[in-house]
Amino acid sequence: MAQIGIIGSGNVGANTAFFLAERNVCHVCMYDITEGLSTGKALDLMEAAPLRGYQYGLKGTDDIQQALDSQLLVVAAGEIRSPGQRREDLYEQNARILDEIAGRLVGYPGVIIVATDPVDPMTMRLVGNGFDRKRVIGLGGVLDSARLRVLIARELGASQEDVKATVIGRHSHDMIALPAYCSVAGVPVTKLVSEARFAELVEETRQAGDRIVELAQRTGSYYGPAAAATDVAEAVIRGTNRVLSVSTMLTGQYGIADVALSLPALIGAGGVERVLEPKLTDDELAQLAKSAASLTTHV
């Protein structure tokens, strides 16, 4: 029977477990370095099972080996941002945490979803620790795309379900929205929103994570990242080959290699089954190359 392991039972990890249970994806095992944290949260979640109709078990453990007995892992451990911090400011401390986790995952054969900030450098670091690039998936564009969908729907008064959006590049202020691949019920967004207004919506998307940190003060974004992790995890467990914009180590796409950036990809049982290369404008290509350069310079 399939199981998903979650490393880190803070807000992102616990809510990923919650969303997976709500969707009845598969069994879930939560692990955290803090003794009793995962067990307590899992107990709380399972007490909702009779009321919510959960079909699979959800457990917590202080033994990471139990979490490793899974087809897929979600790594959600690490420090979170404080007001005024950039994602990149977390790199040094979270890199140490990720390296420690990687040491305990040696030989793990399954797919690993990286939710720890900054996502793109953390994805690169995990691959650098010897894991198959196709089986390491960072949450980046899938979350940014969801945020842009919300704003487009709000702008037009449309159902979010009918809005599609594609965001690529770094999960940072350098994210790149692709208007040619954004639509509402199949109608290109460029036919519904002016270029200037779309640019404003994109800028609001860039600032979304910062805005949440500023308003909440004691916490960062976690419902959105947890929902993004659930979407990717479900695609892997069910082998659906969904097209999602995820951070993955590139191997020559658009002339870029050995850095992790978000691009649309087929997500299935093997992880990143195939990276897609939508046609980009010269400006979008330049932005993507700039993002890649910033990763090689600062990581």
Ramachandran bin of 157, using left for φ above 0, alpha for ψ from -120 to 50, beta for the remaining angles: left
| DSSP code of residue 36 | T
Residue 173 annotated to the active site? no
Task: For residues 200 and 85, give the distance between their C-alpha atoms in angstroms, rounded to a whole number.
Answer: 23
Question: Would you call 139 exposed, middle or buried from its count of C-beta atoms within 10 A (0-12, 13-18, 19+)?
Answer: buried
Q: Is the preceding omega at residue 118 within 30 degrees of 0, hence cis?
A: yes
CA distances from 240 to 68, 128, 244 (A): 23, 28, 11
> Looking at 27, 171, 173, 298, which residue is catalytic?
171
- Which segments of the chain are extended strands (E)? 3-7, 27-31, 58-61, 72-75, 111-114, 136-138, 163-164, 167-168, 176-177, 183-184, 187-188, 242-251, 257-268, 271-275
Q: Which residues pair with 169 in a beta bridge?
A: 262
Provide the annotated active-site residues. Answer: 171
